[in-house]
Structure 1
Amino acid sequence: MADYDLSKTIIPFLDRHLAFPLLAHLAETGIFPENEVQIAQYELASGTNMFDYAASLFRQIYSNQEVPKEFDEKRQNVVSMHETLQQEAQAVLDVIENLDVAQSLRQDKNQNLHYLKEHYNLTLEQITALYNFGKFQYSYGNYSGAADYLYHFRVLSTDADLNLSAHWGKLACDILAGKWDTALEELNTLRETIDSRTPSSLVPSGNGSQAVDPALNQLHSRTWLVHWSLFVYFNHPQGRALLLETFLSPTYLNTIQTSCPWILRYLAAAAVISTPTPSSTNSIPLSSRVKNAVRDVVKVIQLEGSQYFDPVTEFLMQLHVEFDFEAAQKALRKAEKVVSDDFFLGEFREEFLESARCLVSEAYCRIHQRIDIGDLSERLNLPRDEGEKWIVNLIRETRMGQDAKIDLEKNLIQISRPPQPIYQSVIEKTRGLAIRTQALGAAVARPGIMSTNANTTTTVS
């Protein structure tokens, strides 16, 4: 399963602190040797102000060595810096938390800065102390405290670049604190900011690169956002549907195909999980994009199969393109293990399996008129008795019951459906042709951005 683990691929697009949960998960699953995971955790922690955590990891890895004295020296420097930054930030908070000041502030930031300067001699440089102290708190793991200071800074500051950096920091804080509703709001706000402007610095600081071309830099920012959003979409109650809405939109689908095709695993998994099942309890109406997600995702997988392929995407390919049920059955067995070991998907293993079985059943019934229940149970990787109960419940509780009749004496399912009108067949085969033609014409007409990945060069329109 180590061959299918995406941690090494995803971590370069995350902040150091966001990478800690992934490494902790790897330590639990045992996919990689424990010593290797501990070394990776230590290297990450060494770049932060979490010295106690780094020292404990050092003792675990190098049990026969003394902890370097530099940890104590850094700790003393951090304590001194903490006192200085806290005093500077508190001076600003004392002003803005004053009830009279709070009532006098308006939506216009420039007007607020003028008011604070005139009445309290508070400048933009002093307000930046909130950002500095929030960033400092984040560096040693006080995420809730950091989120508060970054929020107050963003309310007052007119510095576009620092505001954007505070957006990224606030999103990371909300993710690490498990505040999923707030994190979703922050994610949506950050996405709107990235999509609406192309400044010289859209990617969060610390990535070690600076794109010159604004459009290419915007592509990098969206790539980072796609990876960070996985934390939110796979923890928020409506996250899977929101993931499909976002990732299947032309802008972000283009980003995935260009910069991070491995995200297709999560796109495919979300499409499968969102498939209605007899036990589904989601009462929220689904959009047409979510309803047709499996079909749309399969098309993308076909296009990007040479760039990324794993058991999750292979399952959909074998089922909906090759119609090879034996291969789909084998792929589903592997996909179950991949989903179980994946940091983002592990909690959805049972939902994924049930929805996948529904997809197999629908596809199998679509191309057969007489189906042996025992044979179908085998296709679903279920024991015969359990499979029979599951199939009977599926037919009774879903729309399949309109065309399928169960003959328990013969242990068969009889499928009787009216023939599809010829015009409907034409519509199905030409669906989306106009949109694809328009997109192709636009791509040919306009010069693109050339982005070279490991194996291919892709044009981003």
Structure 2
Amino acid sequence: MAEYDLTDKTLPYLDRHLAIPILAYLTEKTVFNVDQVRAAQYELAKGTNMVDYTIGLFKELHPDEEVPAELLSKQEKMLSTYERLNLEAQAVLDVIENPEVAQSLRQDKLQNLQYLKENYNLSLEQITALYHFGQFQYSFGNYSGASDYLYHFRVLSTDNDLNLSAHWGKFASDILAGKWDVAVDELNALKELIDSRSSTTADTAALSQLHSRTWLLHWSLFVYFNHDQGRMFLLETFLNPSYLNTIQTSSPWLLRYLVAAAVLSRKTTSGGTTMTSSRVKHALKDIIKIIEVSSYQYHDPITDFLKELFLEFDFEAAQRELATAVQVVENDFFLREFASEFLDNARYLISEAYCRIHHKIDIADLSERLNLSRDEGEKWIVNLIRETKMGSDAKIDLEKNIIEINRPPLPVYQHVIEKTRGLSFRTQAIGAALEKQTAAQVPESQPGVVEPAR
């Protein structure tokens, strides 16, 4: 499974605190050498203020060696820095948490700063102490505290650059604290900020926007595969033309998660009970076209499963790819909790595709293609017909052990719609390829707030 692991692709676009859980997960697997993974964890942790955690990793790697003096001195400096920043931040909190002050604050930040300056001698520089303390709390792993301080800072600050940095920091803090509903709100707020930047002005603005979207897509994976409705939200975001262009230009490996989300959302999209977007309703059809035009950039067993099933109509190849795809899902940090659900939905896709191109179907043959027994296959087909629109077209003859499907021909205008949609995706692919040739390499620096406080 090492050849399908995306850790080396995703880590350059993650903050070191977000990367540490991924490496910790890899230590539980046998995909890579455990000592090498722990060494990578140690190198990441050294850049944070999580001194106790770093010392623990060092002792695991070097049980017979003394803890480096630099780590011990860093621990002492961290305590003194904490006390100083805490005092500075608390002086601001004592003012803004006063009920009288809270009632006097308005939506206008400039007016609030003027009010705090005149009545409490509180300047913008002093308010920035909330940012620094929030950043420091993040650096040693107090993510809930970091989220609170960065929120208070953002409410009062008029510094656009620090506000954007605080957005990123609060988003990362909410992810690591497991506050998924709040993280979704922060994700959407960041999307609005990034999308509001004009990409038609200077080349630097376009590259900055591409850079920000690339980072945001990678960070969003933590939210989309932990929130209850995250897979639906992922389809909304990743299929947005701007973000789809970002994937095709700078991070084609994210197609794995787009395909996985489409497969995992199969039952919901077919039922149509919670859909609010036509983009999500037609996600699977659109993604198949994306795979067709983007397979030269990236492919793995998960994307190849859809390719073999819906483009090649090779059911035996699709079955083989599915067996490997399930293993890839089981070993993927973001997808590992969805292995059984992925297999279940993939079988439905095979059944639907098989029924769509055959008028008479041998239940035993279809059961074999799904790796099910005859009895399990019969139950599977019955449930499939109940849950889809095939109920009025399909009849089951249990004596002959076959399914007869009488489906009316597709109207001509529907063929035209499908062809037009295909041309749209080919146009996007050509545009992405041209932009990739002209754009500079995406910067590897990370958003500012996650830099540890010095």
Q: Are the equivalent residues in 2 in contact too, given 1:216–1:449 (CA < 8 A)?
A: no
* Residue of structure 2 equivalent to 1:6: 6
Q: Which of the residues 313, 326, 331 maps onto 1:336?
A: 326
Specify the alignment match of 1:459 in structure 2. Answer: none
Number of the residue aligned with 1:319: 309
What is the letter of the counterpart of residue 73 of structure 2?
E
CA 1:416 to 1:198, structure 2 compared with 1: closer, same or farther past 3 Å?
closer
Q: Which amino acid aligns with 1:233?
A: Y
- Contact 1:404–1:413 (CA under 8 A) maintained in structure 2: yes
Q: Is the CA contact (8 Å cut-off) linking 1:130 and 1:153 kept in structure 2?
A: yes
CA gap of 1:222–1:428, structure 2 versus 1, over 3 A, is closer
Q: Which has the higher helix share?
A: 2
Deviations 1:168-220 (A, max 9, x none): 00000000000000000000001101111269xxxxxxxxxxx9812101100
Per-residue deviation, residues 276-311 of structure 1 (Å, max 9, x unmatched): 179x99842352211111111111111111110100
Taking every aligned residue pair, what percent have the same amino acid on both sides?
Answer: 65
Deviation at 1:423, TM superposition (A): 4.3
Task: Tell me: CA distance 1:177–1:372, structure 2 relative to 1, closer, same or farther (3 Å).
Answer: same
2:125 alignment partner in structure 1: 125
Tell me the secondary structure at the aligned position of residue 215 of structure 1. helix
> Is residue 181–residue 236 contact of structure 1 (8 Å, CA) maintained in 2?
yes
Q: Distance in 1 between matches of 2:122 and 2:437?
A: 44
Aligned counterparts of 1:437 and 1:309: Cα–Cα separation in 2: 17
- Whether 2:134 is the aligned partner of 1:134: answer yes
Distance 2:333 2:425 in 1: 35
**Cα-to-partner distance string for 1:91-115 (whole Å, 9 max, x where unaligned):** 1111111111111110010111111
- The equivalent of 1:234 in structure 2 is 225
Following TM superposition, the consecutive aligned residue runs of length 4 or more in structure 1 with deviations greater than 4 angstroms are 280-283, 435-444, 446-449
| 2:37 paired residue number | 37
Q: Which residue of 1 aligns with 2:367?
A: 377
**Which residue is 1:292 aligned to?**
282
Q: How many Å apart are 1:425 and its aligned residue?
A: 3.4
Aligned to 1:88: 88
Q: Does 1:246 align with 2:237?
A: yes
Name the SS for the 1:49 alignment partner. Answer: coil
8 Å Cα contact 1:170/1:186 also seen in 2: yes
CA distance in 2, matches of 1:320, 1:380: 16
Amino acid at match of 2:242: T
CA separation of 1:147 and 1:336: change in aligned 2, threshold 3 A: same
Report what 1:107 is aligned to: 107
- Answer whether contact 2:248 2:432 (CA < 8 A) is retained: no
Matches within 5 A, 1:51-450: 51-197=51-197, 213-276=204-267, 283-431=273-421, 433=423, 435=424, 450=438
Unaligned runs of 5+ in 1: 200-210, 455-461
**Count of matched residue positions in the alignment of Structure 1 and Structure 2:** 440
Query: Contact 2:249/2:436 (CA < 8 Å) preserved in 1?
Result: no
More displaced, 159-168 or 3-12? 3-12
Structure with higher RCO (Cα < 8 A, 6+ apart): 2
Q: Residues 453 and 351 from structure 1, CA distance in 2 versus in 1: closer, same or farther, beyond 3 angstroms?
A: farther
Aligned-partner Cα distance in 2 for 1:194–1:181: 20
CA–CA separation in structure 2 for the residues paired with 1:272 and 1:157: 43
Q: Is the 8 A contact 1:240 1:270 kept in 2?
A: yes
RMSD (Å) for aligned C-alpha atoms: 2.5
**TM-score when normalising by structure 1:** 0.90
Residue 313 (structure 1) shift: 0.3
Would you say 1:451 and 2:442 are equivalent positions?
no
Q: Is the 8 A contact 2:294 2:429 kept in 1?
A: no
1:373·1:412 contact (CA, 8 Å) conserved in 2? yes
